[in-house]
Every structure is written in structure tokens, then in C-alpha cells.
Amino acid sequence: MRPGTSPATSADFDAAVAAQAVRAFLGSQPAVELWEGGARVARLEAESSGYSITLGMQLVCHFWSPDANLVRRVVGWKAQSGNRLRLECLRMGQRQPQALVLSPAGDAASGARSEYRQALLAAIGRDWPGWRQLALPRTPRSASPWVRLVLRKQHALMVCVAIEESPTSGILAQALVLAEQARQRWPRMPVAELRLVLPPGAERHVAQQRAGLAPPGDAPGIECYWLDRSAGQLNRAEWGGENKGNLQAQLRRAPAPWPTGGAEASDELLREIRERCPQATVEYGMDGRRLYRVYGLEIARETPPGEDLVAHHSFGYGREQTPLVDSTRAQFLAFLRELAAQRVAGGRRGDWLFRIQPEAWMEHLIHSDPSVLAADLDTRWVYRQVPACRPQERDVMDLLLVDHDGRLIVVELKADEDLSFPLQALDYWLLVRRHQQAGDFERLGYFPGVELSALPPRLWLVAPALRWHPHTEAVTAWLGPEIEWTRIGINEEWRQGIQVVYRKNQGGA
């Protein structure tokens, strides 16, 4: 259910409707800030934060993060402009409700970005003498964190893209596209410099990606800098540390397959979920706990050992961890009814449960039948996000497959256009290639019975045929010759069954 409008506090306050509004808001936002009394009291983001919703005679919401632990009884709610949700809450001992406002993280960052841009331009004028800024075409105002600049010195151009804070994962793609746009806009002047301004230490990720890049034609090399705000100067970053960071993600032992026979049949929670959502699946997570999913969306999980005194399972989407106990049983059943009505093939595009985590849905379909992508795959073995190098990026899904010749295939999935898509895939390809060369897959039990080829893995980029970013080719042009990549366009209504619409091959030594 999408958040609507309700009187702040009134006799007709519907706690169940309010609970649905809170869940829909929190489940559809990657990061949320909580504001109370004009001050930010918590930020819900990543694995270290979460919430639970208890609905009985009253609606009680529990929010936690590394710096906060809030329990609030909700007595009213209202959707506000700016995609915010206002909850009227009572705290222990209070008689009058106080507003708790939930807002998407980053709403108040535009002022800080403007200050950063001015500081950056001042430092460029001091430390990069002779470079003069050129005007770029106007673009619609947005919350983009990037500062994009094209500068000129005599008859040469410099492309510079800067960002003040992490995450910085998209900055390289921004720079490669801006360089191509500069070549087209000023064709008589070569792009002689390509510089990134990053937070200190973030150059390591660019260094790792650089191992898989080959500048096309006369394209410039890539340099990294960091801005010292206190001194007002730009410092060049060294390229050291290429073997550190995300690309050193540990490869765990191959996950155990789900036991055939009585394991699923004895799972009472799975049977209860499948009564309303027949397509539900269960699997073991990396920590050995059972995870319950509907079309890739995790909706329930076993409670970690030592934390199961209250409940053996919790339910909810994303960061929600509502204990599954007698007092929340009715809430859980309502939760499943909403899920069964919305997360179905052919559902309504306006339903948030239909839209949420589309890559997970796509991954579920391909994991169930990899042959929809190609006929020469060994469909016995499909591994997801192994190794998992991007826990903070929930809209990215990776699969690792093998064909009948034993050649590894890295598959990256995207449901909507994303400029960084090819470089996100490159991150995973580099990880897989490193573990392949070290013999880790054979040593840790992956692809049993398959003699793996020593050839570099193939890279498949999969997205709906009409959902590719228009500048994708400006980024893929930089992929190194060792990477044999294929761009696979699938049908727009892929939730009803994946069909390959076209296949474009390029690259390879």
C-alpha cells in the first residue's frame, strides 16, 4: 500500500493502514533519516540498522541504528511533500504526541554540494594554473552528488569529475562519458587529461577497476586527486593499494545445496507462506540460516543463534525484522496477503511490492532456469553473488555460471538504465578472474565434476532491451581486450517469462 493521508490523531485512526504505510515507505527507500523535534535522531541504512512493526491493540514501531534506539507508539500519520512520512507518536510518559518525520536520506545535501563545488573551483584556480572552465549544457536540477567540469588550456581539454563523500562507485563512469561528450562538443581539441577528485583512499577502487580497462584510441590516462578543504588545495593520490579493498573479497566455500527429500516438507513456515504465495522459495544463507523469498525478495528469516529467545523467525522486507510470535501472527498473515496480491507476474506497475528489488526477481527467474539466456550452459550449477563484493548496493545482482566447455560466465543483471552498469560488472569479473587464476573455485568446491577452463571468464550484461543507458557504449569502449563481453537485451515483460530479444557480442582476446 502506498502512503496516503490520515488525520494526525483521531478516533478513526486505523493502525493496520498506518503499519502498511510505514512498511511501504521504509521498504522502498535505500536509506532513511528520522527527524524529531527539528533534529536528526537516526539514520537507517545498511546492515547495522533496522526496524520492527508490532501491531496489536496499538501500533508500536522500533527503530535502531549504531547511534540510536527508538521505540514509539504511533497514533497518527500523514504523507507530506518531498516524499516524507510524518508519524504522530507518543513516548513513554507523554500525553501529547510528537512528530517523527521519516525522509529519504540526502534531502538536505544540496547546500553542502554547492559549498564543495565552490571550494573545488577555488583549489583548481590555485593548483591547476592556466585551466579555464568551459560551459556545459544545462541539465535538470537533481540530487546528483557529482561535480562535472570540462576545462581548457590553450588547445587541450581536461575532464574533471569530483565527489566529496562516499560512495564513489559511479564516478569513473561519469568521467568516461563526460570525456566522450567533450570530444563531440569540441572536436578540434583533444581531451588530454582525465582527473577524478575523490575522498582520500577512494582511489583504490579506481585503481582496481583500471586493471580491467584499456583507454580507446588516443584517450588519456586517469589521474586521481583529493581535496584538502582546510588547506584549500588539491593533492595527487598515489595508485598504491591495487590489491586491497573490495576486489579482495573472500571467497567462501561453495554453499551447500538444499537437501532433497524431507527438508522442505518439514519446514512449517515455508508451508504456511506457500499457502498464500506458492512461488515462495527457501535457501540457506552464508551464515547457515534459512531465508524465505518470494520472487527473490527476502520476506522472512531464521533468527540468529543467541537472539532466538523471543522468536525463532522474523519477517519483513529489507531492514524490517518484526518477530514472528503469537501477537504478530495476524499482522504476518496480512503481510502475506498483500505480498500475494502485488508481487505476482502481470501485477500492477503502481504497486510498490511489484516494483521493489526487480533485479532480485530477475535473478530468481534466471537461477530457476539459466537456459533462458543460452542453450550451452551447464544448468546444474548457478551461484549468486559469489564472492559478494558490494553488500551496500542492493540493486545489483551477480550470477556465476559455466558452459558445457567449462568456461566461466559472469552475469550481471539490471532492470533499469544505469550508467555504471558495465563497471559494476567489471568489478565482479575482476574478482572472479582473480579467484579463477588462484584455483579457488576447485579448492572450495564450486562446480563439482566440471573441469574448469583456464580461459578468462565471459561477461554477460543482461537488461531489458529498452532499459539501457544511452551512453552505455561510451563506457564499454574502455573495457580491456581480455574481457569478452556480451550485451543481452531481454523482453520488457520479463516478469512473465524471460526471452532474449537481441545479443550483441564484443571484446575478447
What strands, in cross-sheet order, belong to the sheet with 222-228? 132-134, 147-153, 156-162, 191-197, 222-228, 233-236
On whether residue 1 sits in a domain, the answer given is no
Q: What 8-state DSSP symbol labels residue 173?
A: H
Domain that holds residue 296: 262-354
On whether residue 255 sits in a domain, the answer given is no
Residue 1, pLDDT above cutoff 50 = no
Res. 361 pLDDT band, cuts 50 70 90: very high
On whether residue 467 sits in a domain, the answer given is yes
Choose the final residue of a domain: 248, 283, 300.
248
Kindly state whether residues 147 and 225 are assigned to the same domain: yes
Kindly state whether residues 153 and 240 are assigned to the same domain: yes
Q: Give the best-scoring range by mean pLDDT among 209-218, 246-255, 318-327.
A: 318-327
Q: What per-residue confidence (pLDDT) applies to 198?
A: 94
Helix axes 329-342, 15-27, angle to 10 degrees: 60
Kindly state whether residues 330 and 363 are assigned to the same domain: no
Kindly state whether residues 393 and 432 are assigned to the same domain: yes
Kindly state whether residues 371 and 503 are assigned to the same domain: yes
Q: What per-residue confidence (pLDDT) applies to 245?
A: 43
Residue 402, pLDDT above cutoff 50 = yes
On whether residue 458 sits in a domain, the answer given is yes
Number of structural domains, the chain? Answer: 4
What is the DSSP annotation of 262-315? HHHHT-HHHHHHHHH-TT-EEEE-TTS-EEEEETTEEEEEEPPTTS-SS-SEEE
On whether residue 206 sits in a domain, the answer given is yes
What is the DSSP annotation of 188-240? TS-EEEEEEE--TTTHHHHHHHHTTB---TT---EEEEEEETTTTEEEEPP--
On whether residue 2 sits in a domain, the answer given is no
On whether residue 257 sits in a domain, the answer given is no
Mean pLDDT value across the chain: 87
Kindly state whether residues 363 and 499 are assigned to the same domain: yes
Residue 149: CATH number of its domain: 3.40.1350
Kindly state whether residues 54 and 35 are assigned to the same domain: yes
Q: Tens digits of per-residue pLDDT, 122-181? A: 999 999 999 999 988 765 445 578 899 999 999 999 999 999 887 778 899 999 999 999
202, 225 Cβ separation under 8 angstroms: no
Q: Residue 59, exposed/middle/buried by CB under 10 A (0-12, 13-18, 19+)?
A: buried
Kindly state whether residues 389 and 425 are assigned to the same domain: yes
Kindly state whether residues 43 and 149 are assigned to the same domain: no
Q: What percentage of the chain carries pLDDT values higher than 70? A: 88
Choose the final residue of a domain: 354, 378, 407.
354
Choose the final residue of a domain: 217, 248, 279.
248
Kindly state whether residues 121 and 218 are assigned to the same domain: yes
Q: Tens digits of per-residue pLDDT, 11-53? A: 578 999 999 999 999 988 888 999 998 889 999 987 789 999 9
On whether residue 305 sits in a domain, the answer given is yes
Kindly state whether residues 424 and 436 are assigned to the same domain: yes
Q: Judging by DSSP bridges, how do beta strands 156-162 and 147-153 pair with one another?
A: antiparallel
Q: What per-residue confidence (pLDDT) applies to 45?
A: 84
Q: Tens digits of per-residue pLDDT, 223-267? A: 999 999 999 999 999 876 444 444 556 788 887 665 554 556 568
Residue 97: CATH number of its domain: 2.70.180
Kindly state whether residues 311 and 185 are assigned to the same domain: no
